[in-house]
C-alpha cells in the first residue's frame, strides 16, 4: 500500500513529514520496493560506478566530549596520536598510486593543526596531485580558518550536523557544544564554496522516528552535495556504553530515502555500516549509496582512531583494503572507479 507514496517520492523528490514518517514506521512492508526505486535513480545519475575516497585519520586528539564518541577528550583510555605533515602527504602519495583521486583528511578537533600547518599540507597535496580533490573533516573552525583552508585548495568539507532537533542535540553533547554554532559552521562552509557534506547517526540514543522524518526535510532544504550516515555503535569507554546499536536495516532504509530525496547526492556506504553487518557496505550500495571510503591511514595508528567498538579494517594495509572493497563491489555488480567523483550538477 506504500507503493504509490514511494512512486510519488521518486517523481517529486519530496514528501511531507507525515508521509516520511509513515514510510519509516512501516518500513518492513516496503523496504524492497524503496531500495529498487533508489537503485534505479542512482543508476540514472551515476550508473554502476562506485566512487572511492581515501580516508586519512590525521589525529585522534579532540577537545570535545560528545557522549557517543570514542575519541572524546574525557576518554583517558584512548591512546592519542597525530600524524605529521609528512606522514599525511605520504599517505596521500601512496593512495594516489592505488587509484585514489580524493583524499579525506579527518580528525578530532585538535588545536595542534593550525591553519598554517593545514594549509601547507593541503597545498602540497594539490601541487603534487592537481587532478585530486581534498576533502576536510576536522570539525568546527572559524569562518577565517575555513576560508584559509579553502584558499589553500580544499574542495570539500564534511561536518555532520548529528541531528536536526536541538533538544536531541543537547542529549548527545555536553553543555558548551552548540547546535546553533554547528549550523552556522555549515552555512559558512556553503558560503565559501565548499562542496558540503552533513549527516547523522541512525539509531543514536533518544532518536525518534519523527526525528528521522525531520532529517529528510532538513536535507531537502539544505540540499548538500554529500550526506554521511551510519548506525550508532556504542563505545565501551563513553557515557553511551550501554545503549543499543543502530541497525543496518534502518540505516539502509534511510539511505534509500535520501537517494530518492536528493537524487544526485554523494552518499557513502560507511565503515560503521560495514561494522554492524558483515556485508553492510554492499547492502548500502544496493540501497542507493554510491561512495565507499577505504582507510588510508598508516596501519600503526588505525586501531587508535576508534570512534566506536569493533571498527572494521583496522588491521589491513591500504592496498588490501582497497582490493577487498573492489572485489566486494564487483560481486554485487558495481565497479569502483579512478575518479575525483564530483557531484553532478543539474545540466
| Identity of the residue, 154 or 201, whose beta carbon is nearer to ligand 5AD in the bound complex | 201
CB of 271 to ligand FES, least distance (A): 8
CB of 183 to ligand 5AD, least distance (A): 14
- Reduced 3-state DSSP string for the chain: CCHHHHHHHHHHCCCCHHHHHHHHHCHHHCHHHHHHHHHHHHHHHHCCEEEECEEEEEECCCCCCCCCCCCCCCCCCCCCCECCHHHHHHHHHHHHHCCCCEEEEEECCCCCCCHHHHHHHHHHHHHHCCCCEEEEECCCCCHHHHHHHHHCCCCEEECCCECCCHHHHHHHCCCCCCHHHHHHHHHHHHHCCCEEEEEEEECCCCCCHHHHHHHHHHHHHHCCCEEEEEECCCCCCCCCCCCCCCCHHHHHHHHHHHHHHCCCCECECCHHHHHHCCCHHHHHHHCCCCEECCECCCHHHHCCCCCCCCCCCCCCCHHHHHHHHHHHHHHCCCEEECCCCCCCCCC
Looking at 235, 264, 281, 326, which residue binds ligand 5AD (CB under 6 A)?
A: 235
Residues within window 274-333 making contact with ligand 5AD, judged by CB under 6 A: 307-308
CB of 222 to ligand FES, least distance (A): 30
CB of 294 to ligand FES, least distance (A): 5
Q: Is 68 in the site for ligand 5AD (CB under 6 A)?
A: yes
Q: Is 205 in the site for ligand FES (CB under 6 A)?
A: no
CB of 181 to ligand 5AD, least distance (A): 15
- Cβ proximity of 181 and 166 under 8 Å: no
In angstroms, the CA 202 to CA 168 distance is 13
Q: Is 98 in the site for ligand FES (CB under 6 A)?
A: no
- From residue 246 to residue 285, the character string flagging contacts with ligand FES as x (rule: CB under 6 A) and all else as - is ----------------------------------------
Residues within window 118-157 making contact with ligand 5AD, judged by CB under 6 A: none
Looking at 27, 37, 160, 326, which residue binds ligand 5AD (CB under 6 A)?
A: 160
Q: Is 230 in the site for ligand 5AD (CB under 6 A)?
A: yes
Q: Is 272 in the site for ligand 5AD (CB under 6 A)?
A: yes
Number of residues located near ligand FES, criterion CB under 6 A: 7
Q: Is 227 in the site for ligand 5AD (CB under 6 A)?
A: no
CB of 43 to ligand FES, least distance (A): 23
CA distance from start to end of the chain: 35
Residues within window 296-335 making contact with ligand FES, judged by CB under 6 A: 313, 316, 320-321, 324-325
Binding site for ligand 5AD (CB under 6 A): 68-69, 160, 162, 201, 230, 232-233, 235, 272, 307-308
Binding site for ligand FES (CB under 6 A): 294, 313, 316, 320-321, 324-325
Amino acid at each position: 500500500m506504500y507503493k504509490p507514496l514511494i512512486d510519488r517520492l521518486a517523481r517529486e523528490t519530496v514528501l511531507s513529514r507525515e508521509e516520511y514518517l509513515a514510510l519509516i514506521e512501516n518500513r518492513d512492508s516496503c523496504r524492497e520496493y524503496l531500495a529498487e526505486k533508489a537503485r534505479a535513480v542512482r543508476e540514472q545519475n551515476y550508473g554502476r560506478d562506485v566512487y572511492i575516497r581515501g580516508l586519512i585519520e590525521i589525529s585522534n586528539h579532540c577537545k570535545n566530549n560528545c557522549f557517543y564518541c570514542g575519541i572524546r577528550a574525557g576518554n583517558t583510555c584512548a591512546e592519542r596520536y597525530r600524524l605529521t605533515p609528512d606522514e599525511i602527504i605520504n599517505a596521500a602519495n601512496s593512495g594516489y598510486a592505488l587509484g585514489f583521486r580524493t583524499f579525506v583528511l579527518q580528525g578530532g578537533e585538535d588545536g595542534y593543526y593550525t591553519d598554517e600547518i593545514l594549509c601547507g599540507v593541503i597545498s602540497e597535496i594539490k601541487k603534487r596531485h592537481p587532478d585530486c580533490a581534498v576533502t576536510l573533516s576536522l570539525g568546527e573552525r572559524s569562518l577565517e580558518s575555513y576560508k584559509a583552508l579553502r584558499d589553500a585548495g580544499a574542495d570539500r568539507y564534511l561536518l555532520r550536523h548529528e541531528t536536526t532537533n536541538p533538544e536531541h542535540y543537547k542529549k548527545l553533547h555536553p553543555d558548551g557544544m552548540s547546535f546553533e554554532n554547528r549550523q552556522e559552521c555549515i552555512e559558512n562552509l556553503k558560503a565559501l564554496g565548499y562542496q558540503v557534506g552533513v549527516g547523522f547517526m541512525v539509531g543514536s540514543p533518544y532518536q525518534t522516528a519523527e526525528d528521522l522524518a525531520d532529517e529528510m526535510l532538513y536535507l531537502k532544504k539544505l540540499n548538500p552535495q554529500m550526506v554521511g550516515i551510519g548506525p550508532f555503535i556504542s563505545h565501551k569507554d563513553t557515557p553511551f556504553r550501554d545503549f543499543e546499536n543502530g541497525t543496518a536495516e534502518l540505516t539502509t532504509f534511510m539511505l534509500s530515502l535520501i537517494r530518492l530525496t536528493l537524487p544526485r547526492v554523494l552518499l557513502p556506504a560507511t565503515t560503521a555500516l560495514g561494522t554492524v553487518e558483515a556485508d553492510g557496505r554492499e547492502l548500502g550500495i544496493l540501497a542507493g549509496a554510491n561512495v565507499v571510503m577505504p582507510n588510508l591511514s598508516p596501519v600503526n595508528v588505525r586501531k587508535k582512531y576508534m570512534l566506536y567498538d569493533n571498527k572494521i579494517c583496522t588491521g589491513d594495509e591500504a592496498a588490501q583494503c582497497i582490493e577487498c572493497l573492489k572485489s566486494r563491489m564487483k560481486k554485487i555488480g558495481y565497479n569502483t572507479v579512478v575518479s575525483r567523483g564530483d557531484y553532478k550538477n543539474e545540466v
